[in-house]
Amino acid sequence: MAMADGGEGLLDAMGGREQRAEVTGPLGAPVLARWACLEDPEGFTAVIEMAEAAGLALVGGGDANDPLRATTAGVGELILLAVGEGAHTVLVGCGGSATTDGGSGAVEVIGDPAKLAGTQIIVACDVRAPFLDAARVFAPQKGASPEQVTDLSRRLESLAGDYRDRFGVDVTSLIGAGAAGGLAGGLAALGAKLTSGFELVARRKGLRAALEGADLVVTGEGRLDATSFDGKVVGGVVALAGPTPVLCITGEVAPGAELSWPPGSDVTLVSLTERYGGTRARAETAALVEEVVARELAGR
């Protein structure tokens, strides 16, 4: 069952008719971003994965990123495109970003909230982080130095005041507003509703019902750390699984991360890097995941 929490993979999990559009990329160069249309009796819901327009993978990772310049302008362009196409709802997945611009790029592209009138904007957040924590918690993963983290934090503070003055919205009080470097908060300032991306996808896919009577649940992610239990897929799946055994396969594990499992959970954690080495873990990921699952099933 394809799952997502608002970050990469949301389009695959939600399905729909795929579209493509050229928009401004995270560092200014144009990128060809995917989005999707989910048809329904009212018309269609547009699904946008912000990582398609402003994702860290688009710039080649943190080492190649420019954290101070990275922008969400392309996300704003996708939203306006979907609204212009007649979407009654626009679902924006917030996760996997190269940005810590507080959504200012997208906000400036959209400009007037009146442009979104008649369209419901729902933001699927992959974390519960507050707006002002976006730089401190996540910017280092995006290539920001300690000095840049300080600069970005100051910029977020200034933006929070600007959003309060311009739109009458205090983004610092909203759970999840720090998702995607504060993009969630910026869109909330324009009237968007913030929600848990994992919970939204889990409801749509019927995950809770699928887990009933299961003998084993398999999940995983690239790197298990404290944020894995703050809105991400792994933490959500383990919490829903309850006492059902879970096999969690990760690329690597941050020190102490496994101590955050929900009480009463039964988790077997396998780090591909620890078991097979970093080179193989990155080069043979799919094959190694298959091998780990096969071994686990053979031992039951």
Q: Which of 59, 128, 123 is closest to 94 using CA atoms? A: 123
pLDDT: which is higher, 140 or 41: 140
Question: Rounded to the nearest 5 degrees, what angle is found at the Cα of 92, between the Cα atoms of 106 and 126?
Answer: 105
Residue 131 has pLDDT above 80, yes or no: yes
Residue 105 has what pLDDT? Answer: 98
Residue 85 has what pLDDT? Answer: 95
Percent of the chain clearing pLDDT 70 (strictly above): 100
pLDDT: which is higher, 263 or 106: 106
Q: CATH homologous superfamily of domain 10-199? A: Glycerate kinase, domain 2 (3.90.1510.10)
Q: CA dihedral defined by 68, 72, 74, 78, rounded to 10 degrees?
A: 180
Residue 182 has pLDDT above 80, yes or no: yes
Residue 257 has what pLDDT? Answer: 82
Q: Global pTM?
A: 0.91
Q: What is the pLDDT of residues 150-178, one digit of tens each?
A: 999 999 999 999 999 999 999 999 999 99
Which phi and psi angles does 267 have, rounded to 5°? -120, 130
Residue 88 has pLDDT above 80, yes or no: yes
Q: Once rounded to an integer, what is the mean pLDDT over residues 64-80?
A: 98
Residue 91 has pLDDT above 80, yes or no: yes
Percent of the chain clearing pLDDT 90 (strictly above): 89
Residue 228 has what pLDDT? Answer: 87
Q: What is the pLDDT of residues 225-283, one digit of tens each?
A: 888 888 889 999 999 999 999 999 999 999 888 777 888 899 999 999 999 999 999 99
Helices (H) and strands (E) in the chain — how many of each?
Answer: 13, 9
Measured in whole angstroms, the distance separating CA 151 from the mean position of its chain's CA atoms is 23
Residue 217 has what pLDDT? Answer: 96
DSSP for 125-157, written as a single string:
ES----GGGHHHHHGGGGT--HHHHHHHHHHHH
Residue 269 has what pLDDT? Answer: 93
| Dist. CA 51–CA 9, nearest whole Å | 9
Name the least confident of 130-134, 203-207, 226-230. Answer: 226-230
Residue 299 has what pLDDT? Answer: 86
Average pLDDT over the chain reads 95
